[in-house]
Structure 1
């Protein structure tokens, strides 16, 4: 990374960090939601973008992180930080215990298996008295949006630095080898099972932290919202739109799609979902490897880049 890029990144980070000082309350709240979605997209990027395993179960980690904070603060009267740690512990244990058998599956079998994880966890939590069963939990209110904004921004920075580390570490190279050719990675001496489980757990850590922050921000938890499968769809779409397997792609995808969704919801509420879905379909057809790939190849190929993708999809 050149010095100019580092300075640009620092300038953007400072501008984002100071947003609560010059932005409206609505903008800060939008920022919290967008930053947390970007964290989820980065977490999915670890297992889906780098390891090549399209997980539909990361919302289970999000829910565990949220309930970790809820149970710790409401039932045990522990501080928020202890709740975050408890949520992360739950997510890591869940990732290790479930990751070993589930990550032996591949392709659509793996996707279907992980799709059921969130639904199973929602059913379990609905019957646990400690978690409030179907009624849910009401957390103590803390009306401090700037604090939650800075926490969300800090978590996104940590997640992005972790993904950047993957691009330069032995562990990251092992994940890329698994994505490109898992059988070949085994021949090269990569412990694929251990690498995949660690990637699954690492994705779970960031998803759980995002869930914990969001739970304390909205102060209410119930199984349906905590383990919402549509949240997993959003994080995947944002990561794929920006560019899976890249450092900044999921962040760019989250910012653009969140802003577009917010604009459509406020301006044309009746057909916002239709427009948003159409944008996703067109983006996947024209640039299936995301905006990051467009930025790399468009200068060389121009409009032929999009034509090649259309031909590849036989449209």
Structure 2
């Protein structure tokens, strides 16, 4: 399939998705907003986790900072929504840069553990600041316009996806991949690994914060527990890994598939939904540890042996 056909298919998909609010039900539109925002988070994590190879558990912190940026601007300062988006994004990027300089010196599970505590620390700080509403939280002015939130979420996902696509063709992206494969070798080849990692962390935090800002205005209520929920970080990682980390469309596919599975299980199986959802995720990790994107490249050649080879290669 040549590039022209791929671009045409992508544009057609964007047009269909953009038109969804005009022919879809309210339930479908609300599901679409939630799924698109999760896809943005998965795509943002993909920059630092999939391309740079640093498994961050701190992206929910950036999500919370973006959400509080919008809430503080609109509730406490009576400023418009877009000012809050800029304020939240600025807080997240500055925090990512200041934090990234020391934390990104760690590697592997040490880095994961260090970022895991970030959300709880920031939540504790926010809960003691009157400007942020402390533990009570903030109530944003309601806006009954799901179509607008849907289009904003879709536009943000397009922006994040185009950024990841640019990474696959830019010197900066090649540097991140080199760091993921062999950081010491990348440094020897002249890659400023510290600068590249911090920039990737900040870029990942930027998209997470923008998604948090849209979510806050859509839900209209914010408190530290919901803004800095660590389970949200787990979701974005699972979706990115399920779809295929280090790929352009993998995180989006993972977010859509797992969101749909979760929604069906929640409505049909109710109490056992969490159990079945967990089984689906575990099975996916065992049978296709490189995600759905890897199946497209290898399943045609090896068939069902692809899954057998994965079980043997990644057995516990």
When normalised by structure 1's length, the TM-score is: 0.99
User: Which residue number in structure 2 is paired with residue 192 of structure 1?
Assistant: 193
Runs of 4+ in 1 over 2 A off after TM superposition: none
User: Which residue number in structure 2 is paired with residue 51 of structure 1?
Assistant: 52
Distance, in Å, in 2 between the alignment partners of 1:69 and 1:167 is 32
Asked whether 1:78 is paired with 2:79, we answer yes
User: Which residue number in structure 2 is paired with residue 313 of structure 1?
Assistant: 314
Superposed CA deviations along residues 84-131 of structure 1, whole A, max 9, x for unmatched, are 000000001100110000000000000000000101110000001100
Distance, in Å, in 2 between the alignment partners of 1:146 and 1:308 is 45
Q: Which moved more, 1:23-32 or 1:3-12?
A: 3-12
User: Which residue number in structure 2 is paired with residue 2 of structure 1?
Assistant: 3
Question: What secondary structure does 1:127 align onto?
Answer: coil
Question: What secondary structure does 1:70 align onto?
Answer: helix
Distance, in Å, in 2 between the alignment partners of 1:5 and 1:300 is 22
Superposed CA deviations along residues 52-82 of structure 1, whole A, max 9, x for unmatched, are 0000000000000000000000000100000
- Structure 1 unaligned regions, length at least 5: none
Question: What secondary structure does 2:128 align onto?
Answer: coil
User: Which residue number in structure 2 is paired with residue 259 of structure 1?
Assistant: 260
Distance, in Å, in 1 between the alignment partners of 2:275 and 2:80 is 42
Distance, in Å, in 2 between the alignment partners of 1:283 and 1:204 is 27
- Structure 2 unaligned regions, length at least 5: none
Distance, in Å, in 2 between the alignment partners of 1:296 and 1:88 is 36
Distance, in Å, in 2 between the alignment partners of 1:104 and 1:263 is 42
Asked whether 1:99 is paired with 2:100, we answer yes
When normalised by structure 2's length, the TM-score is: 0.99
Distance, in Å, in 1 between the alignment partners of 2:216 and 2:70 is 7
User: Which residue number in structure 2 is paired with residue 276 of structure 1?
Assistant: 277
Offset of residue 303 of structure 1: 1.1
**C-alpha root-mean-square deviation of aligned residues, in Å?**
0.6
User: What does residue range 56-205 of structure 1 map to in structure 2 within 5 Å?
Assistant: 56-205=57-206
Distance, in Å, in 2 between the alignment partners of 1:152 and 1:280 is 25
User: Which residue number in structure 2 is paired with residue 29 of structure 1?
Assistant: 30
User: Which residue number in structure 2 is paired with residue 12 of structure 1?
Assistant: 13
